Chains A and B, each alone.
Chain A
Amino acid sequence: MNDTLKNHATLAEKFNRDIPRVDWHDKTLWFVREKRDKAANQIPDWEKLRETASQIKNNVLSNLHDYLVEFENNAQQNGITVHWASTPKEHNEIVHRIIQQHGVEHIVKSKSMLTEECGLNEYLEHQGIEVVDTDLGERIVQLAGEPPSHIVLPCIHWKKEEIGELFHQHLGTPKGNADPQFLTSAARAHLREHFLHSKVAITGVNFAVAETGEFVVCTNEGNADLGVQLADVHIACMGIEKIIPQRKHLGIFLRLLARSATGQPITTYSSHFQKPRAGQEMHIVLVDNGRSERLGSEDFRNALKCIRCGACFNTCPVYRRSGGHSYHTAVAGPIGSILAPALDMEKNADLPFASTLCGSCTNVCPVKIDIHDQLYKWRQVLVKNGHVTRGKKFSMMSMRFLLSHSSLYNFSGTLGRWVMRNLPSLVNNKFNPWYKQREMPQAPAQSFRSWYLKNKQHGK
C-alpha cells in the first residue's frame, strides 16, 4: 500500500485534535439518530416496511436489465431524452454538451451524490461554466471550497459562527451575525437571483419508476423544483441502480426515506417528474461507473440497494467522531466505506478498516444492506490483494502464529500482564497505537484460563 495516499486514520487524527468540536459533532449526529428512532417507532409496520423495501430492491437488482429498458422506453415516450454513460468522464461530457448546446455559462444544481461521485463541478468549472449548488448546506461548503461531509447534511461539521463569517465574506452579511434564521434568509435572497437567471438546472434522482418512466426528486428546501421550473433545460443525473419497478412502490420507499434520514415523516417536496413542461427540455443521464460489474459480486452487490438516507452515518461511532472528510470520498460513512473500494481498491483500502464492526449501520439501514458484513469481507479482499500496510500484515501474521500455539499464547499473556504491572512505560508510550487517546487497562492478576481451571478444581 502506498503510504502517501489519503488515509482515514491520519485524517481522523487531525479532526480529533479539537476535542470539544468532536464532542459537538458526535452529539449533533446522535441527535439526528434519535429523531430517526422516534419516527421509526411511530410506525407499527416499520420492520415490515424495511423487509419489503429490501425485497423490492433485490428484485430490482435481479431484473435490472429489463427495468432499465422499460424505464428508457417509457421516459422517451414521455418526451424525456435518455443518455447512457459508462464512466464519470462520459457523464460529465454529456452534461457539458447539453449545456453548450444552449450557449449557457451559468447553471444551478440541486443535491446529487452522483455528480459528486463523477466530479461534475470541477469538470464544468474547467470548461468555464459556473455551477451554483443551491441546497443551503451544499452552497455553504461550496463557498468554503470544500466537498460535503455528509450526504444528507452537507455542512454538519460547520458551526453557525463560522457560517456567519463565511457569509460575511461572500454575501456581505454583517460581521458577527450567526443567527440561523438570518443567515438562511440571506442565502435565500442570494440564491433566488441564481434561480431566476439560470437556463439550465441539474438535479439528482431519488427514484426512477420503470413502469411509468417518471423520476422522483426529494428535497426540503424546494431548491430542485425552483431551479428546474425556472430553467429551459432540466438535466437529471442518476446511477442505474436507482430504478424501482412500479409507482406504488414509492409508497414503501417514501415512508422509509425521510424517517431514516432526519426523522421527518416525509420531505417537504417529493416531486414526480413524468413529462417536461411545454417548451422545456428534460434529460436523464444513466450512469454505470462500476455498478454493472459490482452486480456480479455476490458478496458486495447488496450495496447497490442503498437509497442514500444517511442513517448509517448518523449511527456510526466512527463517523460521528472522525467527520465526513476523513473518508476522502464523495460518499463517506459506513456505506461509503463499502462503495469506495469497488471504485478504487488502492485509494480506498483504508476505509473498510474505519469501523468497529458493531453492526449498528446494518440495524438502521432501511433497505437492510448487510453493511458491517461487507466491511468485514472487504478487509479480507484487501489483505488478499496486498492493499494493507506491511505493519498490519506483519502483526496479523504474528497474531495468527500466536493464536495457533497455545503454550506460546499462555506465556505471552503472563508476560504481558507482568509488563503492564511492573514496567508500564513499556506499553504506555507513543509507539503503542492503542495508547493514543486511551488509558491502558489495569492488568488482572491472573488470566481467565487460570481462574477457570482453579475454580473448576474447587468443584464450582
Chain B
Amino acid sequence: MGSREKILAAVKTNQPPLSPLPSNWQGSKHTTNLKEQFIQTVTNIGGLVIEVNSVEEIIPAVKDKFPETTRIVNLLESPKPTGASLGDPHEFENVTIAIMQGQLGVAENGAVWLTDKQMGDRVLPYICENLVLVMKSTEIVPTLHEAYERIGSSDYGLGTFLAGPSKTADIEQSLVLGAHGPKSLMVYLLP
C-alpha cells in the first residue's frame, strides 16, 4: 500500500463523527467611511494613498515622485510588459517602478487584491523596487468577507492580497520597510 492510501485509510478510520460547518458569516454592520478607513489603514502599514481624478494624472505624478527612475513598467494600458518577450522573469531585476491595476481594496486591513492577469509577469509586484497600484475608490469593501464574496469562484493562476511595502521586524522588532520586495507602495485612487 502506497503512502497515499495508507494516510487516507488512517484518516478515514480516525476522524471523529461529522461536525457541521458553521453557517455563513454575518458580521457587525459597518458604519465607517470605507475610503477614509482604507487610506488610514494603508498609511498605518507603511503605504501611501493618493487620490486622483483621472488615469492621465498618474504617470506624471509618479515620475515627479521618483525623478531618478531608470526603468518603469507601466501595465495600465497594455497587460504585456515590455521586455517580457523572453518570458524570463529575471528580465525584470532592474525595474524601479511597476504600475499595475488593483481589483479591489479592503478597508479594514489596507490590502489590495490583484491576480496574475494584472501583474504582467508574476514576479513584477515582488521584484520591482517601488510598486504603484491603481484602483477605483468604489472598489473598496469593508472586510475580507466582502472581498471573497466579490472574488467568488473566479479563476486565476496566482491571486494575492498585497498590503503595504515588503517589511520585516526580525531584528529586535524594529520595523524596516523593503525586506525583499518593494521598498515603497503607493495606491492611486480613482473616483
Measured CB to CB, the residues of A under 8 A from B are 28, 31-32, 43-45, 48, 51-52, 55-56, 58-59, 61-65, 68-69, 84-86, 90, 134-137, 140, 153-156, 158-160, 163, 180-181, 183-185, 188, 191-192, 195-196, 212, 214, 220-223, 225-226, 229-230, 240, 245, 247-248, 250-252, 254-255, 262, 264-279, 286, 288, 292-293, 295-296, 298, 301
Which of these, A62, A180, A265, A298, contacts B171 with CB under 8 Å? A180
Asked if B67 CB lies within 8 Å of chain A CBs, one says no
B residues contacting A by CB (< 8 A) are 2-4, 6-8, 10-22, 25, 27-28, 41, 44-45, 87, 89-90, 93, 106, 108-111, 116, 121-123, 126-127, 143-145, 147-149, 151, 153, 155-174, 176, 178-182
- B7 near A140: Cβ-Cβ < 8 Å: no
Contact B15 A269 (CB under 8 A): no
If A137-B170, A196-B93, A277-B122 touch, does A288 touch B25 (CB 8 Å cutoff)?
Answer: no
> In the complex, what residues of A have CB within 8 A of residue B148's CB?
247-248, 250-251
Contact A136 B144, beta carbon cutoff 8 Å: no
Contacts of A58 in B (CB 8 A): 19
27 contacting pairs across A/B (C-beta < 8 A): A52-B22, A59-B20, A63-B18, A64-B15, A65-B12, A69-B8, A85-B3, A134-B180, A136-B168, A140-B171, A153-B170, A180-B172, A184-B171, A192-B180, A221-B179, A221-B181, A222-B166, A229-B122, A250-B144, A251-B147, A265-B110, A266-B161, A268-B166, A268-B181, A274-B156, A295-B10, A295-B16
Q: How far is the CA of A304 from the CA of B148 in the complex (A)?
A: 25
Q: Which residue of B lies closest to A58 (CB)?
A: B19
* Nearest Cβ on chain B to A162's Cβ, whole angstroms: 10
Q: Which residues of A contact B6 (CB under 8 A)?
A: 86
Contact across chains for A272 and B172 when beta carbons are under 8 A apart: no
CA distance A267 to B167 in the complex (A): 9
Q: Please state if B2 and A140 are interface contacts (CB–CB under 8 Å).
A: no
Q: Tell me the smallest distance from the CB of A218 to a CB of chain B, in Å.
A: 9
A154 to B160, CA, bound (A): 25
Alpha-carbon separation in the docked complex, A273 to B122 (Å): 11
Residues of the A chain whose Cβ atoms lie less than 8 Å from the Cβ of B178:
184-185, 188
Task: Decide: A62 and B179 in contact? CB cutoff 8 A.
Answer: no
Which chain B residues lie closer than 8 Å to A292 at the CB level?
Answer: 7, 10-11, 14
Given contacts A65-B15, A221-B168, A255-B144, contact A274 B157 (CB under 8 A): yes
> When A265-B41, A270-B111, A276-B157 are in contact, do A56 and B21 touch as well, CB less than 8 Å?
yes
Q: Which residues of A contact B168 (CB under 8 A)?
A: 136-137, 184, 220-221
When A62-B18, A229-B122, A271-B160 are in contact, do A32 and B173 touch as well, CB less than 8 Å? yes
- Partner of A288 from the list B7, B93, B110, B172 (CB cut-off 8 Å) is B7
Tally of A-B Cβ pairs under 8 angstroms: 245
Contact B179 A184 (CB under 8 A): yes
Q: Which of A69, A154, A212, A264 contacts B170 (CB 8 A)?
A: A154
Establish whether residues B172 and A159, one from each chain, have CB atoms under 8 Å apart when the complex forms.
yes
Which A residues touch B171, using CB under 8 A? 136, 140, 155, 158, 160, 163, 180, 183-184
Residues on B with beta carbons closer than 8 Å to the beta carbon of A267: 163
Let me know if A64 and B11 touch, CB within 8 A. yes
Closest 4 CB pairs of A and B: A222-B181, A296-B14, A221-B179, A137-B170
Select from chain B the residue with minimum beta-carbon distance to A31. B173
Given A154-B170, A265-B108, verify A251-B143 contact (CB < 8 Å): yes
Docked complex Cα distance between A153 and B175 (Å): 13
Q: A191 with B180: in contact, given A61-B15, A84-B4, A295-B15 (CB under 8 Å)?
A: yes
On chain A, the residues within 8 Å of B159 by CB distance are 214, 271-272, 274
Return A180 CB to nearest CB of chain B, in Å. 4
Q: Which residues of A contact B170 (CB under 8 A)?
A: 135-137, 140, 153-155, 184
**Chain B nearest Cβ from A265, distance in angstroms:** 4
The CA-CA distance from A117 to B18 in the complex, in Å, is 29
A350 to chain B, nearest CB (A): 27
A93 to B28 alpha-carbon distance, docked (Å): 49
Q: How far is the CA of A90 from the CA of B3 in the complex (A)?
A: 9
What residues of chain A lie closer than 8 Å to B20, measured between beta carbons? 55, 59
**A220→B169 CA distance, assembly (Å):** 9
A43 to chain B: closest residue by CB? B108
Q: CB distance A62 to B7 under 8 Å?
A: no
* Given A44-B28, A245-B21, 12 new contacts (CB under 8 A): A32-B173, A158-B171, A184-B168, A184-B178, A185-B178, A225-B123, A240-B11, A267-B163, A268-B164, A268-B165, A277-B158, A292-B7
